[in-house]
A and B are shown apart, each in its own frame.
Chain A
Amino acid sequence: MKRAVEYIITPVIIAIFFLASCEEIIEFKGEKLEPKIVMYSLFDPDSLIAVSIGRSYSVFEEDHNPEQIPDAAVRLYRDGEFLSELEYLPLPPGYIYSGMENLSRYVAPGIRPEPGSLYRIEAGVPGLKSVWAEVQLPEPVPVTDIDTFVITGYYQVRRIGTRVRFNDPAGEDNFYRLNVSMIEGSYTGPLNEPWSDEYTVWVNREDFTGAVIDDPLLKPAGDEDIFGLSDQNHFHIFSDELIPGKEYDLNLRVFAWEKDYSYYEFIHYRIELQSISRDLFLYLRSMSLHFSSGESPFVEPVIVYSNVVNGLGIVGARICSSATLKFGEYPVDGVPYEYSSMWY
């Protein structure tokens, strides 16, 4: 479809526009706004409660230089009762830019969210209006079965087809995110010689791999619509709108044949079906669409969803159910492993 878009629709529209669109600077005649507190938090029963705090800035701040906000007051409430004041977690020394410095991290040591409780986070930053948001953990939806089969695709590339089965709970709206993380090991020595422990197996981990999701529930993940707007679902989220209360098999494909297991290479996939809160679903979906369509003249700009009252951002929740596909052994005694810089 992508080529068709390139070859037909885009040229038609370009032809209509007579190859004549031109840009010109115009004067901005609107009002400028005060910054707001930006607050993010993801409640996960397997993680400590943490909150990220930032601030919004004017579009005219071309040289906007985000700074840590160490003096925010972040308070946690559970079922209406004060639970804890969160502590600022400074960036580690020698921290290298990755975008994290846009947000300041606050943590509640030793506190993990519990199912059935309603949590509220309040945050205040000097000079900005205070904000708050509430969240509750969703019910977990277990993966009931996982099934694999071999697929030979184009150019004889073989992949492992995988069906991930789950039962959508009836009588309620449910929201999901599919995550396939991967750990792989690659032998660093010559493959045409016998294995030697003088060479390491280099281990890398990725949160989302090159798994191909064939499933229509997750379309158009990685696909384009007819106007070439791509990746409308790049967080791999879906709702039970099409499968309310039904058993369903998600379809995906993973690589497995590139490794030489005689050299202790391996590849392990962790397939995670996350049950996520509605607010988080709306945030991820609108953010995905926001970045897909933000500058397209053909669609209305998408305002990113927020449940932070008086502010921006999202306080959401997830609970995971997972299954693992293992190709090759790891770890193996006596095999020297070396870990990539992303391994922490």
Chain B
Amino acid sequence: MSIRTLISILLLNISVSIHSQMVTVSGYINDAASGERMIGATVYEKNSLAGTVSNNYGFYSLRLKRGQVDLVASFLGYEPVQVSFTVTRDTVIHFDLELSAKQLDEVTVTASMRQSKVESAQMSMIDIPVSKFIKLPVLLGESDVLKVIQLLPGVQSGTEGTTGIYVRGGGPDQNLFLIDGVPVYNASHLFGFMSVFNPDAVKSVQLYTGGFPARYGERLSSVIDIRMKEGNEKELKGNFSIGLISSKLSLEGPVIKDRTSFIISARRTYADILARPLIIWQNHVEDMNSAGGYYFYDLNAKINHKFSDRSRLFLSTYAGRDRAYFREKDSYEYYSDEEPVNYEYIDRFSLGWGNVITALRWNYLFNSKLFSNTTLTYSRYNFDITSESIRKDLISNTSSTDLFRYFSGIRDVAAKVDFDYYPAPGHSVKFGAAYTHHVFRPGVTRFKYDQGTGAAAIDTTFGDAKIFANEFIAYGEDNFDLTPRLKINAGLRLALFNVEDTSYLSLQPRISMRFMVTDNFSLKASFSRMAQFVHLLTTSAISLPTDLWLPVTQRFGPPLSNQVAIGSGFRLPWNLEMTVEAFYKTMENLIEYKEGASFSGTGSGWESKVEQGRGWSYGAEFLIEKTVGKTTGWVGYTISRSDRQFANLNFGRVFPAKYDRRHDVSIAITHKFSDRIDLGAVWVYGTGNAATLGIMKYPADNFMYNYVYSYNDITEYVSRNNYRTPSYHRFDIGVNLHKQKKNGIRTWNFSVYNLYNRRNPFFIFWDSQYEMIPDPANPGSYTFESSTVLKKVSLFPVIPSVSYSFKF
């Protein structure tokens, strides 16, 4: 089909919609119990089979012929609602869906029950049901959105136990995390072992790994779009839970019934509080005065108000912070040359990082076909580390100070407007624009040494420079049925990024197509070009707060990717759906630290520390899903390869990406035995990670003047990521025991992580092994013989955990 034909059909489509005798039925789909707007619920007309899906704010709009209509709204796990009426003009119908009395166990499934992957033009997108992921077994009893995402095809996990994700061969900086549409720069708590997304506040999670709609951009490899709950409009509800690491409390309810509601969700770790008595005891025993600890907290809060059916305002915020601290006080009192000396020493150290995100959002319905969302957002991430030693001379009343402080951060203020337009049956358009003002503080380092004697103090600050950047975005995407079997989502994203004297304009075409071969089998294809305007400087295998976001520069332009994917969807017996996708992705302008370079406490001059290169990845993904019934879950398999090439790394030779993994398998199952018991199980398998392993050694020379210090020999690694660690696999199982109490439902969760105690490799290293050999010359005595052996270090053995929660 030529482009001219395509455009003609498109114009015809629009033209028909304008001039035909069609009417629009629109409205919101809500949870009847809480009033929460439902994202991705299906609305279809039974006779014409015209249908649509509610948007991120629960709004739907459907163009129908005048006359008798039988309109059905449905959502997974809810009783479908049918409304029959004669429609003669534009009509507003809101649906309130009730949880199925039989919940998920005996629901009759219809093709229109949910937006089936077989039918959707969107590919490489997975909708993760929150109700499911909280039933899966978890490490240390802490449910985590990102750890569930790690189980999906196309997604590789990073270091075991952490929340790092690597999508289709991309790096950790290539994932866009959105909370209610606002980017989160550091999604990690606890050095990456937990994510910042509190599951109690999460309403929906969508993961895009390819075929990106034009409304998304700014990262090369994935979009994780997390929407938070809005708050129960009907009655006050709550939930609290106690786990091994943290405790959580959520409250939601109406401020003005059916008009204004709120939700507030908070959690905090308490290792520092539990350790306090031990520290006090230790201070007492060792005659010390010290204190230290680590904690994180986060808070999600949202309030919304309905002015009318057309207008609704949301104010939401997220604030989270990790903090490690230590302080010690000591004093010395003695006589020196018969003069009294009395000193007090105070040492302080603190390390903290966190995000603050705020969004003010206004939904406005211009008419039944045009929905708008206007948002003002603020996002801030900062990191600081302070070390200070103070010595006070209590006799002369003077003091000296030795201070080191480093801080860095990024701050965004943005405004954007998005429109959803429904011009015709089977035709919807999304378009919008955004402006973001970025302020980067790549790293400010301050050293101060003041001896308190009146002598000049050393007080030096490096890197105290802000970098300002402006980003303009405009996009449009058209989702339409070209023929009854061929559905297309075509879009274009335009991004203009300006930083200091440099501007980059990026045109990013996107297209996804679905062709229904039969009612149960579809073929899909997509292409997407992505650009991102920030670099992440990271040196480590885990997410460190020292990871530094920096804007693109003249020398290091925006990373770009082109990704093509083809796939198909099958509807199988027993309510199973299968999707198969193959992808090929190229990435340009990637950066990595130079060999020998690392985080040095200042972001200035970073360009001299990095190399620019390219990467590519390709693979195939298989997913079989079952989303309804007593037993639900998925089986995923990925075969893929991801390589990098940098002119000045690895001597210019191609090397495997850090998380290149040939095979990845995951099986995640939940089964509901009754209202009181459900069970979750997970099995994962992955090819071993790439590791840089030394194979040779050679003597070092440090060029001192007269003699060589006895350093160990240098290890020669030959090539980056030249070795594969043993494969990774484990089996987790968990059971939830629910009981209806007078005021709510209590749940005990018992989980076992790594049930068969697989010793998965965390890292490998060479070591010496000594063997006792009987000495034939001296019977009864032994000699030692040493040999070099390769060892692996494993982290998590079998780990049981328990948590308690109460929902009221």
Query: Are A8 and B326 neighbours in the complex by a CB distance under 8 Å?
Result: yes
Q: What residues of B have a CB within 8 angstroms of the CB of A151 in the complex?
A: 451, 455
In the complex, what distance in Å separates the CA atom of A57 from the CA atom of B726? 25
Taking a contact as CB atoms under 8 Å apart, the answer to whether A21 and B795 are in contact is yes
Q: How far is the CA of A316 from the CA of B701 in the complex (A)?
A: 11
Contacts A52-B701, A344-B706: A8 and B292 contacting too (C-beta < 8 A)? yes
- Indicate if the CB atoms of B387 and A4 lie closer than 8 Å: yes
Q: Are A24 and B791 in contact (CB under 8 A)?
A: yes
* A103-B699 contact in complex given A8-B292, A23-B791, C-beta closer than 8 Å: yes
Find out whether the CB atom of A54 lies under 8 angstroms from the CB atom of B404: no
Interface residue? B309 (CB, 8 A): no
Stretch at the interface among A107-115, A133-141, A256-264, A294-302: A294-302
Shortest Cβ distance from B791 into A: residue? A23
Inter-chain CA distance A237–B712, complex, in Å, is: 20
Q: Which of B12-20, B599-607, B638-646 contacts A (4 or more CB under 8 A)?
A: B599-607
Shortest CB-to-CB span from A75 to chain B, Å, is 20
Interface residues of B in 120-159 (CB under 8 A from A): none
B793's partner among A3, A23, A205 (CB-CB below 8 A) is A23
Stretch at the interface among A82-90, A183-191, A280-288, A327-335: A280-288
Which chain A residues lie closer than 8 Å to B767 at the CB level?
A: 23
Contact between chains at A219 and B702 (CB < 8 Å): no
Rounded to whole angstroms, the CA-CA distance of A54 and B696 in the bound complex is 13
Among listed B341-349, B484-492, B737-745, interface-contacting one:
B341-349
Docked Cα-Cα span, A206 to B692, in Å, equals: 37
Asked if A301 contacts B796 (CB within 8 A), the reply is: no
The residue in chain A whose Cβ has the minimal distance to the Cβ of B271 is: A15
Known contacts A4-B292, A99-B699; is A16 also within 8 Å of B190 by CB?
Answer: yes
Cβ-based interface call for A36 (8 A): yes
Say yes or no for A196: interface residue by CB 8 A criterion.
no
User: CB-CB < 8 A to B544: which residues of A?
Assistant: 298
Task: Give complex CA distance A291, B714 in Å.
Answer: 8
Q: How far is the CA of A305 from the CA of B700 in the complex (A)?
A: 12
Bound form: Cα–Cα A284–B695 in Å: 21
Contacts of A280 in B (CB 8 A): 703
B696 neighbours in A (Cβ, 8 Å): 33, 35-36, 56-59
Q: Per a CB cutoff under 8 Å, which of A26, A28, A102 touches B699? A: A102
Residue of A nearest to B696 (CB): A56
Q: Indicate the member of B325, B332, B695, B703 with the most A CB atoms within 10 Å.
A: B703
Among listed A61-69, A117-125, A164-172, interface-contacting one: A61-69
A155 to B789, CA, bound (A): 48
Are A59 and B324 closer than 8 Å at their CB atoms?
A: no
Tell me if A48 is interfacial: C-beta within 8 Å of chain B. Answer: no
Are A305 and B708 also in contact (CB < 8 A) when A12-B191, A280-B703 are? no
Task: Determine if B283 is an interface residue (Cβ-Cβ < 8 Å).
Answer: no
A153 to B7 CA separation, bound complex (whole angstroms): 79
Interface string of B583-613 (1 = CB under 8 A from A): 0000000000101111111101100100000
Docked-complex contact B698 and A156, CB < 8 angstroms: no
Q: Using A25-B791, A313-B701 as known contacts, say yes or no to A16 and B193 having CB atoms under 8 A apart.
A: yes
* Residue of B391, B451, B596, B769 touching A302 (CB-CB under 8 A): B596
On whether the beta carbons of B698 and A54 are closer than 8 Å, the reply is yes
Within 8 A of B (CB), among A284-341: 284-287, 289-291, 293-295, 297-305, 312-314, 316, 318
A201 interface residue per 8 A CB criterion: no
Instruction: Give complex CA distance A297, B765 in Å.
Output: 9
Chain A nearest CB: distance from B321 CB in Å? 15
B720 within 8 A of partner (CB): yes
Known A58-B696, A214-B458, A297-B541; judge A152-B453 contact (CB<8 A).
yes
Cβ-defined contact, A63 with B786, below 8 A: yes
Distance, CA A302 to CA B453, complexed state (A): 43
Given the interface pairs A251-B458, A299-B540, the reply to whether A220 lies near B596 with Cβ below 8 Å is: no
In the complex, A191→B790 CA distance in Å? 56
Instruction: Give complex CA distance A24, B767 in Å.
Output: 11
Q: Is the CB of B595 within 8 A of A305?
A: yes
Could you tell me the distance in whole angstroms from the C-beta of B541 to the nearest C-beta in chain A? 6
Q: Which residues of A contact B707 (CB under 8 A)?
A: 98, 100, 207, 342
Q: Across the interface, do A294 and B326 meet the contact criterion of CB distance under 8 Å?
A: no
Contact B698 A25 (CB under 8 A): no
Q: Give the contacting residue for A26; candidates B271, B541, B546, B726; CB below 8 A.
A: B726
* Chain A: CB-nearest residue to B546: A226
Whole-angstrom distance from the CB of B274 to the nearest CB of chain A? 11
Question: CB within 8 A of B716: which of A56, A242, A316?
Answer: A56
A9 an interface residue at 8 Å Cβ cutoff? yes
- What residues of B have a CB within 8 angstroms of the CB of A318 in the complex? 703
* Nearest-Cβ distance from residue B384 to partner chain A, whole angstroms: 12
A245 to B460 CA separation, bound complex (whole angstroms): 18
B776 to chain A, nearest CB (A): 20
Assembly CA distance A314 to B455 (angstroms): 43
Does B756 have its Cβ within 8 Å of any Cβ on chain A? no
Closest CB of chain A to B701's CB: distance in Å?
4
A38 touches B (CB below 8 Å):
yes
Chain B positions 20 through 43: 1 when the CB is less than 8 Å from some CB of chain A, otherwise 0: 000000000000000000000000
Contacts of B462 in A (CB 8 A): 216, 242
A298 touching B541, Cβ below 8 Å: yes
B629 within 8 Å of A (CB atoms)? no
B161 → chain A, closest Cβ, in Å? 7
What is the CB-to-nearest-CB distance from B164 to chain A, in angstroms, rounded to a whole number? 13
Specify which of A13, A40, A63, A99 is in contact with B191 (CB 8 Å cutoff): A13
Query: Are A56 and B697 in contact, with the CB atoms below 8 A?
Result: yes
A199 touches B (CB below 8 Å):
no
- B269-301 residues at the A interface, CB under 8 angstroms: 271, 290, 292-294
Contact of B692 among A66, A156, A300 (CB under 8 A): A300
In the bound complex, residues from chain B placing their C-beta under 8 Å from that of A294 are: 715
* Max chain B C-beta neighbours (<10 A), residue from A241, A293, A303, A304: A303
B694 interfacial contact with A, CB 8 Å: yes
CB distance from B719 to the nearest CB of A (A): 9
B717 in the interface (beta carbon within 8 A) = yes
Determine if A303 and B717 form an interchain contact, defined as CB atoms under 8 angstroms apart: yes
Question: Do A62 and B787 contact each other (CB < 8 Å), given the known contacts A4-B349, A342-B706?
Answer: yes
Apart from A15-B271, A56-B696, A56-B698, what 19 extra A-B contacts exist at CB < 8 Å? A8-B294, A24-B759, A33-B696, A33-B718, A54-B698, A59-B694, A59-B715, A63-B786, A98-B708, A149-B455, A181-B705, A214-B447, A219-B447, A282-B596, A285-B596, A300-B541, A301-B692, A302-B595, A318-B703
B residues whose Cβ falls under 8 Å from a Cβ of A: 161, 190-191, 193, 271, 290, 292-294, 324-326, 328, 332, 336, 341, 345, 347, 349, 351, 385, 387, 391, 400, 404, 445, 447, 449, 451, 453, 455-456, 458, 460, 462, 539-542, 544, 546, 593, 595-602, 604-605, 608, 658, 692-718, 720, 722-724, 726, 759, 761-769, 786-797, 799
8 pairs of residues in contact across A and B, judged by CB atoms under 8 Å: A7-B326, A62-B788, A208-B704, A299-B540, A300-B593, A301-B715, A305-B596, A316-B703
